[in-house]
Amino acid sequence: MFYRETGQFKTNYADDMALLPILQDRIGLGIILFVAYVIIPFFGNDFLLSTVMIPFLVFSLAAIGLNILTGFTGLISLGTGAFMGVGAYACYKLSSVFPDLNILLCIVFSGVFSALIGVLFGLPSLRIKGFYLAVATLAAQFFLQWCFVRIPWLYNYNVSGAIEVSQRSIFGVVVTGAKAAPESRYIVMLVLVTLMTWVAANVLSGRIGRAFMAVRDMDIAAELMGIDLLKTKLLAFAFSSFYAGVAGAAMMFIWVGGGEANDSFNINQSFLILFMVIIGGLGSLLGAFLGAAFISSLPTILKFGLPALGIPLAGATAEHLTYILVGGLILFFLVVEPHGLARLWQIGKQKLRMWPFPY
């Protein structure tokens, strides 16, 4: 009843091919954007913004990147953490070499470096597929992590080896460093994520996205149809690493604000993002967001929310309980719907179309 598109006629091809053809979808997206841009920064407290929303946005960006590679193109990659690290260190070098450059531009340009490195490590994908490619990207993960520690030029020969984030402002509002208000950082992150999601959504629903999906479904058939496998697979790696690089730069500069980056971009990070993509749903942008919320925000919410509800939990016990609960929920959701949370939402939409009838 709610999702019926009766009465919504399209009078030209452009309208027909739009990303969100149904009016209800557009209203829903409008409401989400309104809540994100207006309600949360105005009514949320610092903890919600800094510890729940900003990490969620950073990880959703990284998850979009990996979803493009694994969900849409079918190339399993275990190097996402390292590509995020490349973005972070590239942004650090850019911001130290060009101290007057707008920090948003630094972050976006650092994605380009990450894309180049991603293309380099994506070359094996032309010969190997599936789990073997996962091992090749694992090599990328370990090699790049080694580089972050052993190439002192990357961290400007710092004694502590840490990335130092100086204070930067955009239009007079401080957005990085200690003085940056959580609201400013949140809005910057949100704008970045909105723009990049819009770009990703459009690319993935166009010619390039369809080429990716053809490669995922059967790359030999795609090649026979005329899709250049070399270009498509490398473009997938470039695109995905770009998003991962921007996420890594944003993580270091807007979320954490500097510090030892080496441990933040280790193999656990790569696995974490892979889990976000799997639980959220492979091949779906919404899945990236849902997965990021589930894996990154849920433990924080449980760890601090359960005591806030009045359940008396000490630090370590809350930690253990969080692991148990999140693990249990992952099992539960994967049993109920192996295709991820995005598929659950799709089923929900179908039900909403027919509501109040069951079918």
Partner 1 sequence: MKMRKTTLGLATAIMAGTLMMGFEAAKAQDSIFVPLFTYRTGPFAGSGIPIADGMHDYLTMLNERDGGIGGVKIAIDECETGYDTKKGLECYDAVKPKNPVIINPWSTGITLPLIPKASVDKIPVLSMAYGLSASARGDIFPWVFNPPDTYWDGLGMILRYIGTQEGGLEKIKGKKIGYIYFDGGFGKEPIPLFEQLAKDFGFELKLYPVPPGEMQNQSSQWLAVRRDRPDYMVMYGWGAMNTTAVKEAAKVSYPMDKFISIWWPGEDDVRGTEGAKGFKTLNWHGIGTDYQALKDIQKFVVDKGLSKAPKDKVGELLYNRGVYNSLLIAEGIATAQKLTGKKVVDGADVRRGLESLNIDEARLKAIGLAGFTGTLQLSCNNHNGHRPSFVQQWDGAKWVKISDLIEPMPDKVKPALDAAAQDYAEKNAGWPKRTEACDKPS
**CB nearer partner 1, residue 226 or residue 358:** 358
Q: Which of 162, 170, 326, 344 binds partner 1 (CB under 8 A)?
A: 162
The three-class DSSP label of residue 244 is helix
Q: Which of 279, 318, 341, 342 binds partner 1 (CB under 8 A)?
A: 318
Consecutive H or E run containing 170: strand 169-170
Q: Which of 17, 18, 19, 47 binds partner 1 (CB under 8 A)?
A: 47
How far apart, in whole angstroms, are the C-alpha atoms of residue 294 and residue 341? 9
Stretch that binds partner 1, among 24-32, 117-125, 161-169, 278-286 (CB under 8 A): 161-169
Nearest one of 105, 252, 235, 108 to 166, comparing CA atoms: 252
**Residue 319 found at the interface with partner 1 (CB under 8 A):** yes
Give min distance, CB of 76 to partner 1, in A: 21
CB 75 within 8 A of CB 239: no
**CB nearer partner 1, residue 220 or residue 308:** 308
170-182 in b/e form (b: 16+ CB < 10 A) is: beeeebbbeebeb
Give min distance, CB of 190 to partner 1, in A: 16
Give min distance, CB of 63 to partner 1, in A: 16
**CB nearer partner 1, residue 22 or residue 313:** 313
**Residue 117 found at the interface with partner 1 (CB under 8 A):** no
CB 325 within 8 A of CB 302: yes
**Residue 139 found at the interface with partner 1 (CB under 8 A):** no
**CB nearer partner 1, residue 7 or residue 312:** 312
Q: Which of 160, 312, 358, 359 binds partner 1 (CB under 8 A)?
A: 160
Stretch that binds partner 1, among 83-91, 184-192, 238-246, 312-320 (CB under 8 A): 312-320
Give min distance, CB of 43 to partner 1, in A: 6
Q: How many CA atoms lie within 13 A of 98 on its CB side?
A: 12
What is the secondary structure of 275-334 as a DSSP string? HHHHHH-TT-HHHHHHHHIIIIIHHHHHHHHHHHTT----HHHHHHHHHHHHHHHHHHHH
How far apart, in whole angstroms, are the C-alpha atoms of residue 180 and residue 168? 9
Give min distance, CB of 327 to partner 1, in A: 14
**Residue 102 found at the interface with partner 1 (CB under 8 A):** no
The DSSP secondary-structure symbol of 174 reads E
Sign of CA dihedral 263, 268, 274, 278: negative
The DSSP secondary-structure symbol of 155 reads G
Stretch that binds partner 1, among 50-58, 116-124, 232-240, 341-349 (CB under 8 A): 50-58
Q: How many positions of this chain bind partner 1 (CB under 8 A)?
A: 52
| Cis-peptide, bond into residue 312, ω within 30° of zero | no
CB 205 within 8 A of CB 199: no
**Residue 309 found at the interface with partner 1 (CB under 8 A):** yes
**Which residues have a Cβ under 8 Å from the Cβ of 64 and sit 6 or more positions away?**
196, 197, 200, 243, 285, 288
Q: Which of 2, 19, 21, 167 binds partner 1 (CB under 8 A)?
A: 167
Give min distance, CB of 240 to partner 1, in A: 23
Give min distance, CB of 353 to partner 1, in A: 20
**Residue 194 found at the interface with partner 1 (CB under 8 A):** no
Q: Which of 44, 102, 183, 229 binds partner 1 (CB under 8 A)?
A: 44
Nearest one of 81, 126, 106 to 236, comparing CA atoms: 126
Residues that bind partner 1 (CB under 8 A): 43-48, 50-52, 55, 96, 99, 149, 156, 158-162, 164-167, 177-179, 256-260, 262-264, 266-267, 300-306, 308-309, 314-316, 318-320, 332
